[in-house]
Structures are given as C-alpha cells and as structure tokens.
Structure 1
Amino acid sequence: MARPELYDFNRSTFLYAERISLEKLPDDSLVRQAHTFWRGLVEAPALPARSDFTPADIPRPVLPWLFLMEVLREPDGKLDYRYRLAGTSNVSVVSRDPTGRLASEIFKNGDRAFMLKSFDATVLEAEPTFWNAAVPHDRIEKIELWRGLFPLAEDRKTVDTLLGIAVPQSTWR
C-alpha cells in the first residue's frame, strides 16, 4: 500500500472537471452500480446510514474503488472531510493513501476548491452527485475518471458521511 508521506498531494490540477447527471454515465459503469447499491439500502426519500451496510454487502467489483469520508462541521458552518477508508484500487491508481487525512490538507492547489465544493454540494443537497474529470498522472499522460458521491446519514436526514467512488473511465471500456 502506498504511504501518503511519500507522495506530493499538491502536484496536479484537474485538466477538466464537470458535474454530470446519472444519465450521462455509461449503463455498465461501476458508479451506476454504486448508486444502485446506495439507493437499495433504504427507501427514498430517507438517506442510508453507514450502519446499514458492511463491506461484505458492497458489490465485489465496486468495493476496491470506494472511499468513505466523515463529514466534519466547523462552528462557523464550514465543512471538511476526513478520509476513513480508501479502496485498494483507488490507492493504487493515484499512488497514495489518504486514509486518516483531511481533504483540506490533501488538496492544496487548484484542485482544493473544486474537491471541497463537490463534497459540500453532496452534503448540502443531501443527494448523490456525479462527476466527469481528468487529472494528470505521474506514470501515464492523464486519467479520465467517473466519480459518484453518495450521502449517508445516521438520522436519515443530516449527512454525516460520504460514500464515494472514483473509477478510471477505461475500467469498463
């Protein structure tokens, strides 16, 4: 497993990043599978809770691409996010493991504002959000990603955890 202190989390800026609808994702994408899993945990409009599932419940192809983030609410209303889990495939692709670190610490360059705003949108809307992005990569020219963020709430309303998935688009081509 990658050691985060060995890698420069400040090295890249998105080549592009845009919010998209669920319909723009390929039918067979792992992000769609993650969405189906998330929505199947509880009946809408209630939000699923982290306690509604175990790793064994997650579809096997999706599991290595997932990440879990705790939502941290500051007294001034600002939000931050602590990575609680990063799937092995996610860690392998980016050559770093963010587990235990704050999103505000990891993303320092132009990526920071976008990443925090995308997490904030998911929390504040209490709805899944979907993204299409490309980032430069150390070993290859770039990685194009599909990303989904899914809100979790122990009280079924107030988002306290984000379940996320970020998968290279080439994973299912």
Structure 2
Amino acid sequence: MRRENSTLSLADISSPALGELVRYWQSLEPAPVIPHRQHFNPVDVPQCLRHIVLMDVLETKPRYYIRLAGSAVNPVYQKSIAGCYLEDIVREEDIVDVLSDYEHAVANQVPVFRVNASRLMNGTLRPYERAILPMTSNGTTADKLLVGINFFNVAPHLVDRPVSKL
C-alpha cells in the first residue's frame, strides 16, 4: 500500500538524497498505514544518512525528541542536536509554523514536505527543504519521525565535519 499526500510532490524536491529517502519510505511495508520503525534500515539509504534526523514523538504536548541528526544537519546548528527537543532548537517566533508541520504529519499519519527558510538561533537565515515521514513502533500511532532535511548554502567544508571541531 502506498501513501499519498497532496502536499508532498516528489517533483518539488530538489535534493536527490531527500527524493531517495521519500521513495524508500514509500516502499516500506505499512503497519497498517505508515511504516513500522523496525522496517527502516539505514543501510538501505546510505546516501541519505547525512540528511536524516530521527525523532521520538512524546505524548505530552506532543514534544519531539531528536535521537539522531546527520552530518549535514548538525553543522547548521553549530552543535550536535541529538538529545535536544525540536522546540529548543527553533526560534520562538518560528515555533508555531514549524510545529504545525510536525503535528500534521503525526495526527494524520501522512508525509509533509516543505521548502522554507528559517532564522537559526544565531540569527542566520537558512533556506531548507524538509520531508517529515511518520513511522510507528506500536503499529497504531505515529510515534517516530524520519525527517530528511537539506539546508541550502551550507559551506561544503562544514558538511561531514565532526561537530566537536566546529
């Protein structure tokens, strides 16, 4: 069973890695609507790993806990964002818009794709494209998120660089 969402158009995704990640997510066996987290195998999408953020959806509020962030994501924040909450790395003036995409993906168990720009905590305006892909660990609710994010205009020498050396 394939999942479709009118807000997600592969034609609009410019990053080959994000396009591949979305196609891979669509190919996973749904349980019953969205893929089960155990079916996601990072070995299947090595070219996407640097753009991946894995999140837990916590029931209270909900809150989004970042378990892992790829090597093309962390340099943008100038630190490792693993172990942070999404709400703590997004500027207060942007939080409502950002969270609405995540909440829509979780509540409706559908992917959400957006091209946007946001101001980082350090004030830098950073354009990006992002695909939020819901997954489940319990078979019924979207309690995990596979997020692919491609930030534009990141200095190539910063990507894949260990965060501790920034």
**Interval containing the TM-score (normalised by the shorter chain):** 0.7 to 0.9
Q: Distance in 2 between matches of 1:138 and 1:107?
A: 7
Which amino acid is the alignment partner of residue 154 of structure 1? S
Q: CA deviation at 1:95?
A: 1.6
Match for residue 141 of structure 2? 158
Q: Which has the higher contact order (CA 8 A, sep 6+)?
A: 1
Q: CA deviation at 1:153?
A: 0.8
Q: Distance in 1 between matches of 2:76 and 2:14?
A: 23
Cα separation, partners in 2 of 1:95 and 1:124, compared to 1, 3 Å: same
Is the CA contact (8 Å cut-off) linking 1:25 and 1:32 kept in structure 2? no
Match for residue 164 of structure 2? none
Cα displacement string for residues 116-168 of structure 1 (whole angstroms, at most 9, x for unaligned residues):
211111100100000011134699x7432110000001233310101001103
Cα separation, partners in 2 of 1:113 and 1:26, compared to 1, 3 Å: closer
Q: CA deviation at 1:89?
A: 1.1
TM-score, normalization: structure 2? Answer: 0.76
Q: Distance in 2 between matches of 1:94 and 1:84?
A: 15
Structure 2 unaligned runs (5+)?
1-5, 155-166
Q: CA deviation at 1:41?
A: 1.4
Pick aligned residue for 2:93 from 101, 106, 110 = 110
Q: CA deviation at 1:62?
A: 0.9
1:115-154 aligned within 5 A:
115-136=98-119, 142-154=125-137
Match for residue 28 of structure 2? 41
Which amino acid is the alignment partner of residue 114 of structure 2? W
Pick aligned residue for 2:46 from 60, 77, 81 = 60
Is the CA contact (8 Å cut-off) linking 1:68 and 1:86 kept in structure 2? yes
Aligned-CA RMSD value = 2.8
Which amino acid is the alignment partner of residue 93 of structure 1? V
Q: CA deviation at 1:20?
A: 4.7
Cα displacement string for residues 28-86 of structure 1 (whole angstroms, at most 9, x for unaligned residues):
632221111111111586311221123212x2221111001100012xxx211100000
4+ runs of 1 displaced by more than 6 Å?
Answer: none
Is the CA contact (8 Å cut-off) linking 2:105 and 2:111 kept in structure 1? yes
Is the CA contact (8 Å cut-off) linking 1:86 and 1:98 kept in structure 2? yes
Identity of aligned residues (%): 24
Structure 1 unaligned runs (5+)?
1-18
Q: 1:46 aligns to what SS in structure 2?
A: coil
Cα separation, partners in 2 of 1:43 and 1:103, compared to 1, 3 Å: closer
Match for residue 31 of structure 1? 18
